[in-house]
Amino acid sequence: MMRFLRQSLAVAAKDLRAELRTKEALNSSVAFALVILLLFSFAFEPTEDQTRQIAGGLLWLAFAFAGALILNRSFARELANDCLDALVAAPLSGAALFLGKALANFVLLLAVELIALPVFGVFYGVNWTRQLGPLMLVVVLGTWGMTVVGTLFSALTVNLRMRELMLPMLVYPVMVPALLAAIQLTSPLVMGQPLDGELMVWLRLLAAFDIIFTALTLALVETVLVR
């Protein structure tokens, strides 16, 4: 188990170093998320009640679209000089390789979201920190669900010519339960409502999605990598 974790962390550290050197995916994702929030703020001037209804949808729309740019680069960066073949042939399990890349993607996606949240607060005049702890829990759970599904499909589409188009088409339908739960939780939390009552049902759905798909992806990734 410790060997598995060390291998996963080594892969994650490698990917993070590679991304921080170029910042290619990170910069484009941040810019894309901010542009989405900016365009929606120009398109309409919502009242407080309207903001309460659309806040979760706006945020997770920006997170999902910006996240696709990071997820698409996860395995694509390994194509040069047959690095992906070398990683698959290396003495580490496919699950360790997948988990390492998923952890790196998770950190990058969280960075984008933590930058986008204050901008959302400024553009829409929302004090989103009133339920900061529960909101961060939802962001972490929703981001991990997006990461595990997106990283698996990134490996599946890495050799396709139109992988930039195919990845979102495959990921978003699978992510519908998690995105729906995250949106239903985020909207009231951003407006200061406590995490209780009916919201706990959505939280359990989001946590169950993460557990189920983490187990499925770790079990299926060997088949995907050696296809």
Q: pLDDT tens digits, the chain, 227 residues: what are they?
A: 778 788 888 888 888 888 888 887 888 899 989 998 888 877 766 665 666 677 788 889 889 988 888 888 777 766 665 666 666 666 677 788 888 889 999 999 999 999 999 988 888 878 888 889 999 999 999 999 999 998 888 878 777 677 677 778 888 899 999 999 999 999 888 888 888 888 899 999 999 999 999 999 888 877 766 55
Tally the domains of the chain: 1
Domain that holds residue 208: 2-225
| Beta carbons of 72 and 154 less than 8 angstroms apart | yes
pTM of the full predicted structure? 0.88
Task: Residue 194: count other Cβ atoms within 10 Å of its Cβ.
Answer: 11
